[in-house]
Amino acid sequence: MDPTRRPLLIASALTLVAALAPLAPPPLLAAAAHAAAPAVVPDLDPDLVALYVDLHRNPELSLHEEKTAGKLAERLRRLGFEVTTGVGGTGVVGVLRNGAGPTVMLRTELDALPVEERTGLPYASVVKARNDAGLEVPVMHACGHDVHMTVWAGTAARMAQSRGSWHGTLVLIAQPAEEVVKGAKAMLADGLFSRFPKPDYVVALHDSPKLASGKIGYTPGYILASSDSVDVTIYGKGGHGAAPQTTVDPVVIAARTIMAWQTIVSREKDPQEPAVVTVGSIHGGTKHNIIPDEVKLQLTVRTYDRGVRQRVLDAIGRIARAEAAAAGAPREPAVAVVESTAATYNDPKLTARLAAALARQLGDANVVEAPREMASEDFSEYGLAGVPAVMVRLGAAEPAALAKATAAGVELPSLHSSLFAPDRDPTLRTGVTAEVTMLLELMGKPAG
């Protein structure tokens, strides 16, 4: 069904008493067996749907999220948060103090991707913007950051309206530039943990088209891989394509190098240690009959183990230099790591605690252990800064569509796809429930 034609569920309880009651389940639930407990998910505030549609229609590229940041900052101000903008670029920090107790940070991301949307939704993005190279590109929230921001805003409202249910200091951050893995480092460098209360815990969620809406996935330990973006320039000696003997062909060197790089994963590391080396871009030459002077390549490297990560990066440079030398290249290739972030690690003890709280709230069947993935996230930086951190996955697939695709052996459009569209309302409802449940588990007052 078209999401815009679904009847909006009128919010019957913006207070947490009826909407989120992990400490005091409704009477009807108390009689049910825990393993079969139905999800306790509040009605969805129509204002949140409007926010989601607005954010989806008006995405902004990494490091250019000024309007997006302004919308979220204004919402926090209206709720009584102490708000600081411009942290680490366009980042927003909101602080809500509610007496003595733990300090917990909840993170969302602001940025979208240079992808042309093809979902056909009535509120699909048609935005185009200039990227940092000055090129006009289409922009889309193809990774679901619009979901994350909307859920974050809904969570902020519910926590602000239910201060009697918790104690401590709540720190909400809206982080820029996650897609280019620069925003977390920028916010930390700008004093996130010194200018503002340093958290005892950091939590976040990320939507997933591999999970049905209504479900939450948790992963103890490593959940996402490290990411290194590597630029390589191979130099040759250009000339006429009809006289290759007068040249040193960098296209051929690049081809040999790419094939040799494939042996890094298959022959240079322990088979039980995951790694990915992918060449995503090759650029060289201008015409059929001209051998160019150079070829530029862009790679992504994904690992979990730090030692494996370093060995893979070292091997990329070593192989590139060796292939160039074998071909008699006039100079060594240039190899540079231009973007990087560490593997994202979920504190196992904290993960188990939050997963148990989520299962009590949503029902055991709706909280499942999920496998780690080779995708990457700069949420890892907060854990590396010394704070126990957990990211959970938020199911975003329409259940019937996911079941049909699974039965057929195919996959639904993935994150970063031009066709990615979450099962909107159920995903938003479950996301707010999950975030508030985690915050109350860490900050809630004991019953009685």
Q: Would you list the domain boundaries of the chain?
A: 3-224+343-443, 226-341
Determine the pLDDT at residue 446: 73
pLDDT in the model for residue 44: 84
At residue 424, the pLDDT reads 97
pLDDT grade, residue 19 (50/70/90)? very low
Flag whether pLDDT at 109 surpasses 50: yes
With a cut of 60, say whether residue 398 has pLDDT above it: yes
pLDDT category of residue 10 using cuts at 50, 70 and 90: very low
Q: What is the pLDDT of residue 41?
A: 62
pLDDT exceeding 70 applies to what percent of the chain? 90
How much is the pLDDT for 36?
A: 35
pLDDT tens-digit map of 226-244: 999 999 999 999 999 999 9
pLDDT of residue 174: 98
Closest CA to 234 of 156, 323, 306, 151: 323
pLDDT tens digit string along 423-435? 999 999 999 999 9
Distance between CA atoms of residues 96 and 82, nearest Å: 6
Q: Output the CA torsion 434→439→441→443 (10° steps).
A: -170
Please provide the distance, in angstroms rounded to a whole number, between the alpha carbons at the two ends of the chain.
Answer: 44
CATH architecture of 226-341: 2-Layer Sandwich (3.30)
Residue 353 confidence (pLDDT): 98
Q: What is the pLDDT of residue 40?
A: 52
Kindly give the residue spans of alpha helices, DSSP state H, lying in 7-132.
16-19, 27-30, 46-57, 66-78
CATH 3.40.30.10 fits domain 3-224+343-443: no
What does the alpha-carbon distance between residue 130 and residue 137 come to, in Å, rounded to a whole number? 6
* No. of helices (H) and no. of strands (E), the chain: 12, 18
> Residue 126 to residues 69, 149, 403: CA-CA distances in angstroms?
20, 20, 31
Q: Which two tokens stand for residue 25?
A: 């389940």
Average pLDDT of the segment spanning 179-183 = 95
Average pLDDT in the chain: 91
Give me the sheet containing 216-218, strands edge to edge. Answer: 82-87, 91-98, 168-175, 103-109, 201-212, 389-397, 216-218, 367-369
What value does the mean pLDDT take over residues 119-127? 98
